[in-house]
Amino acid sequence: MLFMGVDIGSASSKCVIIDDAAELVAQAVIPAGTGTSGPGRAVEKALAAANIGDGGNGGANRAGGGRGNDCIRQIKAVVATGYGRNTYENADDKVSELSCHAKGAAWIMPGVRTVIDIGGQDAKALSISDGGKLVNFVMNDKCAAGTGRFLDVMARVLEMNVSELAVFDEKADGLVPISSTCAVFAESEVISQLAKNAPIPNLIAGIHQSAAARAASLIKRIGAEAPVLMTGGVANNAGVVRALSRLMGLEVLTSPFSQTAGALGAALIARERNGC
């Protein structure tokens, strides 16, 4: 028996499949706008990785418009989460991303107490108890500062791919501070620093420090308690993770499952709601 979680975010769609023992079977991440359907492609890719047949209906139809006979037998329930969860018609249930990230984080790191989730357009700090129960949270969903969108804008100004930022950060021997907490004004600061021939690695370290400062302010509002786990796509940026650890004065941990934590939590909730 299998359970599936689908996390439809602003920057990507994630899909996780687990079994009735809560063991990971497959996962997939598809950037938003990839192919004809971000969520559908993520589901299709995860199903393919899990070697689940489509009952002869074809992968596209299975992912976007129906599960197919074989999938109906194997996938017991699907829970959707993320800001776009209401757009995914194949879900049996839809759950807030706050609950899903808390549940997923507890699976990734049993005993975790604080979660900082930085996604494409928002950031959330969660305080959780044993078993992934959400105790408290604060979020920034009104401004791009400190989010994946902020880093995308900075990378565009620097004429590089966002995945290159962490590589340059490692070469920094100093930090060019970016004082503005507004993404628009921060962009102007970066352009000004480029005109002054500021070292690119040091400038990127300053960009990461600025993003981490917004995340740190969220964590401080709920009260930081170790262990701290970072989830969301920005957890893949080691420069932001290092900057956040420095600012917090404690180690911020990540996992290979950080980006899919929300989808993982959704799958776990689907499993629990079906008596497993």
Q: Go through 215-235 and write b for each residue having 16 or more CB atoms within 10 A of its CB, e for each that does not.
A: bbbbbeebebeebbbbbbbbb
Q: Are 123 and 247 members of one domain? A: yes
Q: Are 156 and 176 members of one domain? A: yes
Q: Is the pLDDT of residue 59 over 60?
A: no
Q: Are 201 and 233 members of one domain? A: yes
Q: Are 160 and 216 members of one domain? A: yes
| Model pLDDT, residue 84 | 86
Look at the chain and report how many structural domains it folds into.
Answer: 2
Q: Are 119 and 239 members of one domain? A: yes
Longest Cα pair distance anywhere in the chain, in angstroms? Answer: 63
CATH code, domain with 154: 3.30.420.40
| Model pLDDT, residue 164 | 95
Confidence of residue 51 (pLDDT cuts 50, 70, 90): low
Mean pLDDT calculated for residue range 63-85: 68
Q: Are 132 and 164 members of one domain? A: yes
| Model pLDDT, residue 108 | 96
Query: What torsion, rounded to 10 degrees, do the Cα atoms 100, 106, 123, 170 define?
Result: -140
Instruction: Render pLDDT for 131-189 as a digit per residue (tens, 0 to 9).
Output: 889 999 999 866 777 788 889 999 999 999 999 999 999 999 999 988 876 777 888 89
Q: Is 268 exposed, middle or buried (CB count within 10 Å of its CB: 0-12, 13-18, 19+)?
A: buried
Confidence of residue 47 (pLDDT cuts 50, 70, 90): confident
Q: Are 133 and 207 members of one domain? A: yes
- Give whichever of 48-52, 86-90, 137-141, 224-228 has the largest mean pLDDT: 224-228
Confidence of residue 38 (pLDDT cuts 50, 70, 90): low
Grouping H, G, I as helix, E, B as strand and the rest as coil, residue 253 is strand
Q: Which residue has the higher pLDDT, 129 or 73?
A: 129
138 — phi, psi (to 5°)?
Answer: -135, 155
CA distance linking residue 256 with residue 11, whole number of Å: 18
Q: Are 130 and 246 members of one domain? A: yes
Confidence of residue 52 (pLDDT cuts 50, 70, 90): low
Confidence of residue 90 (pLDDT cuts 50, 70, 90): confident
Q: Are 248 and 182 members of one domain? A: yes
Q: Go through 129-154 and write b for each residue having 16 or more CB atoms within 10 A of its CB, e for each that does not.
A: eeebebeebeebeebbbbbbbbbbbb
| Model pLDDT, residue 57 | 32
Instruction: Render pLDDT for 100-137 as a digit per residue (tens, 0 to 9).
Output: 999 999 999 999 999 999 988 889 999 999 888 999 99
ω before 177 within 30° of 0 (cis)?
A: no
**HSE, side-chain direction, 13 A CA sphere, residue 268:** 23
Which residues constitute the domain of residue 188?
112-253
